[in-house]
Amino acid sequence: TERINPHSRPTVSYYFPKDVGAYHYGEKHPMKPHRLTLTNALVMGYGLDKRIHKIYDVRPATREELEAFHDHDYIEYLSKVTPQNQDQMGDSIDIFNCGEDCPVFSGMYDFCRMYAGGTLAACRKLCAGTTDIAINWSGGLHHAKRGEASGFCYVNDIVLGILELLRYHPRVLYVDIDIHHGDGVEQAFYQTNRVMTVSFHKYTGDFFPGTGKLDDNGLGLGKHFALNVPLLDGINDDMYLTVFKSVIENVVDAFRPSAIVLQCGADSLGCDRLGAFNLSIAAHGECVRFVHNFGVPLMVVGGGGYTIKNVSRCWTYETSVLVGASIPNELPSTIYDSFFADSGWKLHPPLTGKVENMNTPVSLRRITTSIRNKLRYLQG
């Protein structure tokens, strides 16, 4: 099909649900929606909005839209529960897994409707063919299941977005560079050959969510259409980029996706409060550039990321990569300047070398070779 602008720069659409950064999971909780406000301030501060085709506020997703994936009873619960009435809702807390990781906070359902509404609107725009790239940094909540919350995620905007893409796209590739396994998305599409899921993550058995081993590869029609890249603590830029590029190049070759969804969880950066990898913002962004360069319609979402000054730096840099702008290392001055003093207000602070690298060239070689062999089943 023909592009709207076959000869000019790709069109980039940016989705920012108004006030999505104002929600609070709780004082001690590591998930801070405020990082979205910081990201937006830096994106605007750098003037990247001038390179973005359009910035969209978002219509919150409706109950019907959420029920395209989620159970009716679960959405009913999310829409009714409040910090005040959650004790009266009895054991529903246990049934729907809202507790410490996924607390019931004020405005929680509106928060869910907003980030999901952003990803849905973005995917519809990609289906209409009126944008080449769509960005929703508030999305990417990859752990949510059909009938329960998990790992800071209540509603799975990625699954909802991919279901929307599947109306028009024969094959959708999902790539996940959050340090956690993208279990909710993998599980939702584990039995279909129309969605290929690929997650890069820390895998040690005790690290959340505990799934995502090399040999979990799909079931039924979906056999060979789920890939997992289990990594150890402290992986550095060179090793990560070697594995990432090798795997993704082979995957795109074999699967030939008509659309790609990229989850850019920034907890894979060095110095993350919950993570244990050693990636720089430049390397994280290089993964985005590599996927972008295939020239396939692309949905980009956020995800994890718990050292919020670095999350906002990272997603700002990645926005610049996607719009094809090169931006200076000197951060623009914003009302949030105090967050960025650590590096002398730089976009690329030193983040590497804090955790010992437990990966070896041999352990990584084993993974890339195994994945190349698994992909041979696809060519049929």
Nearer to ligand TV7, 72 or 146 (CB): 146
Hey, how many other C-beta atoms are within 10 angstroms of the C-beta on 336? 17
DSSP notation for 79-134: HH--TTTTTTTTTHHHHHT-SSSS---TTHHHHHHHHHHHHHHHHHHHHHTS-SEE
Nearer to ligand TV7, 76 or 233 (CB): 233
The amino acid occupying position 305 is G
Structure token digits, residue 68: 């395209």
| Residue 28 interacting partner from ligand TV7, Ca ion, Zn ion, none (CB closer than 5 to 8 Å by kind) | ligand TV7
DSSP 8-state secondary structure symbol assigned to residue 341: G
Nearer to Zn ion, 250 or 307 (CB): 307
Binding of Zn ion by 35 (CB under 5 A)? no
Nearer to ligand TV7, 65 or 157 (CB): 157
DSSP 8-state secondary structure symbol assigned to residue 195: E
The minimum distance between CB 272 and Ca ion, in angstroms, equals: 13
Spatial distance between the Cα atoms of 346 and 328, rounded to a whole number of angstroms: 9
Helix ranges, 257-334 (H): 281-292, 308-323
CA nearest 269: which of 226, 328, 317? 317
Q: Estimate to the nearest angstrom the gap between the alpha carbon of 67 and the chain centroid.
A: 21
Binding of ligand TV7 by 105 (CB under 6 A)? no
Does the active-site annotation cover 7?
no
Q: What does the binding site for Ca ion look like in residue numbers (CB under 5 A)?
A: 176, 178, 182, 199, 201
Catalytic residue among 70, 143, 180, 284: 143
Binding mask 145-164 for ligand TV7 (x = CB under 6 A): ------xxx-----------
CA nearest 237: which of 214, 262, 270? 270
Residue from the set 32, 169, 171, 180 that interacts with Zn ion by CB under 5 A: 180
The minimum distance between CB 108 and ligand TV7, in angstroms, equals: 14
Whole-angstrom Cα Rg for the chain: 19
Residue from the set 132, 186, 267, 286 that interacts with Zn ion by CB under 5 A: 267
Instruction: Indicate which residues carry an active-site annotation.
Output: 143
* Binding residues for ligand TV7 (CB under 6 A): 28-30, 100-101, 141-143, 151-153, 178, 180, 208, 265, 267, 274, 303-304
